[in-house]
Amino acid sequence: MLWLILGLLLGVVGYWLVTWTRARGIRVTWYEYLIEIAALILALVAIQNFVASLAELEPQAAWILLALFGVPALILACVAGFMIWRRQKSANLIAKV
């Protein structure tokens, strides 16, 4: 059930993101996609380890594993987002000039 809900959410979010970026004319390079996919995989690993460790009655392991995989996931997602935002900003500036 957990993975069904997660899959649905990811599908909706993914579809919305791609549609939104295309509609806004935001260009995303292949390596930015790659970083985002890596962030997503790390986030999924963090969620799986967190929920499964709680089910194992190991809360200490759950929180440490969430941080261990979740923090790199967040950092990678932010890096990709920042790269896209910066390029978009400079493109807008060039267009204005």
Partner 1 sequence: MPENLTRREFLKDLGLLSAGVTLAPVAAQGESLDSLMERADAGWRPQSPARPAWVREVDKPTTEVDWDKVQRWDERNTAFNFPRYFGDERLKKLQTIQNENMARFLKESRPGFTLKDYALNEGSRYRAFANVTGAEFPFLGPRTALPPEKRGTPKYTATPEEAARVVAAAARFYGAATVGFVELDPRTTQKLIFSHDGDGKQIEFADVELAEETNDKRIIPNKVRYAIVFTVQMSPDAYYTAPTAIAAATTGFGYEQGGLIQGRLQEFLRALGYQGVGEYSRNALGIAPGLAIYAGLGELSRHNRLLTPEYGPLVRVFKMITDLPLAPSKPVDAGIVEFCKRCKKCAEACPAKAIPFDDEPSWKVRGEFNSPGHKAWFDDAVKCRAYWFEISFGCTICYAACPLARKDKAFMHTFRNWLVANAAATGGALKSLDDLLYGTPDASAKPMKNPADWWKLDLPEFGIDTTRGKRDA
Residues of this chain that bind partner 1 (CB under 8 A): 1-2, 5-6, 9-10, 13, 16, 19-20, 23-24, 43, 45, 47-61, 64-65, 81, 85
Q: How far is the CB of 54 from partner 1 (least distance, A)?
A: 5
Contact yes or no for 84/28 (Cβ under 8 A):
yes
Q: Which is nearer to partner 1, 2 or 34 (by Cβ)? A: 2
Amino acid identity for residue 66 in this structure: L
Nearer to partner 1 by Cβ, of 61 and 79: the residue is 61
Residue 75 CB, nearest approach to partner 1 (Å): 14
Tell me the CA distances in angstroms from 29 to 15, 80, 86, 89, one per residue in order.
17, 10, 13, 15
Gyration radius of the chain over CA positions: 17
